[in-house]
Copies of this chain bind each other. A is one copy, B any other.
Amino acid sequence: MTSILALDFGGTKLAAATVNIGSREWLRYERRLSPAIANASTDLEIMRSLIHSLLQDTQPVAIGVSFGGPVDATTGTVRLSHHVPGWENIPLQELLEQEFGVPAAVDNDANVAALGEYRFGAGQGYDSLFYITVSTGVGGGWILNGQPWRGTGGMAGEIGHIVVDPAGPVCLCGKRGCVERLASGPYMAQNAREALTAQPKLWEGKILRSLVEDNLELLTGQLISQAAADGDDLAVEVLRKSAWALGTGIGNIANLVNPQLFILGGSVTKAGTQWWEILRQVARETALPEIDFEIVSAALADDAPLWGAVALAELRLAN
């Protein structure tokens, strides 16, 4: 009766695990891809089968959930999923509490990852931090005074859509020069594609072109990192802009909120030392000289949402 059940509704994958309170090793762990045509019902059905396989006849003391989309964390109600239809206004916390008869807590993946890094990862021993994930999108989550800070409407942490270059390219959100528009993997690929299409005859981007055999549709953020590491000038420029945008955002946040630590996770943070160097330098130059902070890599990797869900369940038990 001292285990916690952690759930991760990740958009393309579903994962569940159990852990004894205080332990850092999973008791049991199950993971499954979402079906090609998923909806909220199929996601819940799969998750139920994962849970029953994990728990068998036991009962956890609490359930923590990481959800890949906006959540009203005060009630644990999912607002929607950007990947899977049917999640609009689903009271996930209530469903779980009724079904399993124990306290549950639900929050979005960025907030949960921030909490996980704070309790079990790179943020241990720090009291105020901002976690940033940079992959398909760019999002963030706050820990202030050792507690999650979600904002008045639960919307805090949206670093992806702060404007850092008002003359920059147009983002899906309608604004120009958002951090996500410059720093995310898919947008880096788009920026490279546009630059290569605009200058089809120049020597620039030669390595990048050869990586996709001139099929620019195949460009990804990862290939841009690879080409940049191999010395492709155009890829270096795209990567530099990504690091610059994120570094400017981080420096501005340091000035505004003055946290001790920034933790960066997500696929784009694997882009190599050049990306990290530019990012750190720009953040340092953007923040006032009197303002100190560290920028480190996330420690929990793929299991971050599940460990964060454990921390969320513990917090639910403590409050």
Contact = CB atoms under 8 A, between A and B. Distances in A.
Contacts of A144: 144, 149
Contacts of A157: 256, 258
Instruction: Count this chain's copies in the assembly.
Output: 2
Nearest to A70: B290
Contact of A173 (B248, B256, B259, B288): B288
Contacts of A70: 290
Give the one of A140, A163, A285 with max B CB within 10 A. A163
Interface residues of A, number: 44
Interface stretch (A10-18, A82-90, A164-172, A189-197): A164-172
A70 B291 CA distance: 12
A20 interface: no
Interface string A171-200: 001110000000000000000000000000
A154 B258 CA distance: 8
A150 B150 CA distance: 18
A257 B165 contact: no
A162 interface: yes
A258 B166 contact: no
A168 B188 CA distance: 25
Contacts of A155: 255, 258, 288, 290-291
Contact of A161 (B150, B288, B293): B288
Given A128-B152, A162-B255, A256-B256, 7 more contacts: A151-B258, A153-B258, A155-B290, A158-B255, A161-B288, A162-B251, A164-B166
Q: Please list the 9 inter-chain residue pairs (A to B) with the smallest Cβ-Cβ separation, ordered nearest first.
A: A151-B258, A162-B252, A156-B258, A158-B255, A152-B260, A155-B258, A155-B291, A162-B255, A156-B257
